[in-house]
Every structure is written in C-alpha cells, then in structure tokens.
C-alpha cells in the first residue's frame, strides 16, 4: 500500500466548525462542542484516507516573518473569539489524546510548516493530503504527490483542477497573485489589474521579472498600470509564496498514525 501523510490545517478546521455553532450562546459550551465535532471530523478523515502518517498543524502565537516584512499583513481580519483563542492548547491536548500528533513552531504560520511537510514527504515518495480550505496551498499541487482536500465541500483538488479554476498552472500562481493581490491576507496586487488582465499578461510572460523586462510589449494602458509596481510585485509574491524549507526538526516516523 502506498504511504500517505494526512496534514490537517488545525485552525482552519477549528474556526470553521466553531463558526457553524454561532447559535450556541454559552461560549464554554460552544468550545466543548467544537472540540467534539473536530474529533469526529478527524475520525472521518482517518477512515476516508487511511493515512500511514498524520499531523494537525497549528499557527504560532503572535507575529511571523510575514508581519515583519509587511506590517499590514492580514490587517483587518476578524479576530478570533477570546474563548476559542484561549482554548487552542486544549484542542491540541484533546487531539493528542486521540492519537493525532500536533505541530506548532514559534514564529511560523501553519501554512509554511504544512508546505514543508508536504514537499519533504513528496521527495520521499509519500503522498500528502492537505486538509484545508486555504487557496494558498494550491501552489503546491504541481507535484503529483501533493493533493488538497476541502473537508466542508467534500472536494479534492489536484494539478488538473488548478488551470480550470485560475487559468494558470500551479507554479504560476504566486506570480499571478502578485499581480491581482490576495484580499484575504491584505496583500496588494497591481492597481487596476484583475484576474482577466493578469491572465493575459502571464500568458505572454510567465514571471514578474519577465513581465517587467518586457513592459514595452504591452498596451499603453497596461504599461501605465505596471509602472512603478515592480518592487511591490516582488514583495507580494514573496508573501504569498509558501516556505518549503522550514527546519521543523520532526522525522516522518514520529508522525506515524495509530489506527484504532
């Protein structure tokens, strides 16, 4: 049987389950119910994927390298309820009690840890399934060993799905997002350039460097929009690009999943 690594975007799962219980007025009870439903969700996922290895990855507390590089990163996002924020350590304890390894590293977002785990697993011919609704992971799907699964929509995503969704290949997504921006994380693109215009640009020149080395090839309207935006595009691309070389210090064998 092929070896599989199931990677859960912990906060992504928890926040969505918690949001679905907004009718529960007792916040303590709401957190408890979220924990219970989260365990049920993990059980369903383990039954569905039958992983050889598994891990639930959490974000670090506080700011990460992206905030240092770009202070406006994620600015304006709706903050997490204090009751949920204060209970995240309890979620990890409950998950571990149910045989789910958990990972969190100070100074790092879960996204970078997940990307690093998936890429390293792929290099060892282990197929990774990233369970998250975060579109950022689609940039990794060019590798046949990396797939994404939306637990809520019950949909799986691979490298064939990406062009149908965005019009570009997975490896082109970071340059594409550098042009159009990422409103979810408050990362700016080039003013005036939307998805359609960005696709036209990238089909001619696939990277930000190529685009700005050939601005004379574009119409006067597009040249005007691109003017002065090179450094901003490079910054935006660096922010949306997931790190795949984080020193995690965890061996795959430590994430072996014990099926009940």
Q: What is the DSSP letter of 256?
A: B
Give start-end residues of each CATH 1.10.150.20 domain in the chain: 165-240
Q: Residue 169: what pLDDT?
A: 96
Say what the pTM is.
Answer: 0.95
Cα angle: 245, vertex 39, 82; to 5 degrees: 75
Q: Residue 75: what pLDDT?
A: 83
Q: What is the pLDDT of residues 162-211, one digit of tens each?
A: 999 999 999 999 999 999 999 889 999 999 999 999 999 999 999 999 99
Please check the confidence at residue 56 and state whether its pLDDT lies above 80: yes
What CATH number has the domain spanning 165-240?
1.10.150.20
Q: How confident is the model at residue 216 (pLDDT cuts 50, 70, 90)?
A: very high
Q: What is the pLDDT of residues 2-38, one digit of tens each?
A: 899 999 999 999 999 999 999 999 999 999 999 999 9
Give start-end residues of each CATH 3.40.50.1010 domain in the chain: 4-162
Burial readout 192-216 (b: 16 or more C-beta within 10 A, e: otherwise): ebeeebbbebbeebbbbeebbeeee
Q: Residue 260: what pLDDT?
A: 65
Q: Please tell us whether the domain made up of 4-162 is placed in CATH 3.30.1330.50.
A: no
Please check the confidence at residue 69 and state whether its pLDDT lies above 80: yes
Residue 148: closest CA among 160, 139, 161, 137: 137
Q: What's the rounded mean pLDDT across residues 87-102?
A: 95
Please check the confidence at residue 121 and state whether its pLDDT lies above 90: yes
| Averaged confidence pLDDT in the chain | 95
């Amino acid at each position: 049987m092929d070896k599989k690594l199931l990677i859960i975007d912990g906060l992504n799962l928890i926040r969505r389950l918690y949001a679905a219980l907004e009718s529960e007025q007792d916040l303590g009870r709401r957190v408890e119910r979220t924990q219970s439903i989260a365990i049920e969700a993990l059980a369903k996922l383990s039954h569905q994927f039958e992983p050889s290895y598994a891990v639930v990855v959490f974000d670090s507390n506080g700011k990460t390298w992206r905030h240092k590089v770009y202070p406006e990163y994620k600015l304006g996002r709706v903050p997490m309820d204090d009751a949920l924020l204060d209970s995240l350590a309890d979620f990890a304890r409950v998950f571990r009690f149910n045989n789910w390894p958990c990972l969190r590293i100070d100074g790092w977002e879960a996204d970078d840890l997940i990307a690093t785990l998936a890429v390293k697993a792929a290099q060892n011919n282990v197929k990774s399934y990233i369970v998250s609704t975060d579109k950022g992971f689609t940039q990794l799907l060019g590798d046949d060993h990396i797939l994404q699964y939306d637990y809520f929509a019950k949909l799986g995503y691979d490298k064939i799905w990406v062009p149908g969704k965005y019009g570009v290949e997975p490896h082109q997504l970071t340059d594409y997002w550098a042009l159009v921006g990422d409103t979810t994380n408050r990362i700016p693109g080039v003013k005036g350039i939307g998805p359609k215009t960005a696709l036209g640009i990238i089909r001619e020149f696939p990277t930000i460097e190529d685009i700005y080395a050939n601005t004379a090839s574009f119409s006067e309207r597009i040249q005007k929009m691109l003017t002065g935006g090179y450094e901003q595009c490079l910054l935006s691309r660096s922010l949306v690009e997931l790190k795949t070389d984080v020193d995690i210090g965890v061996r795959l064998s430590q994430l072996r999943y014990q099926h009940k």
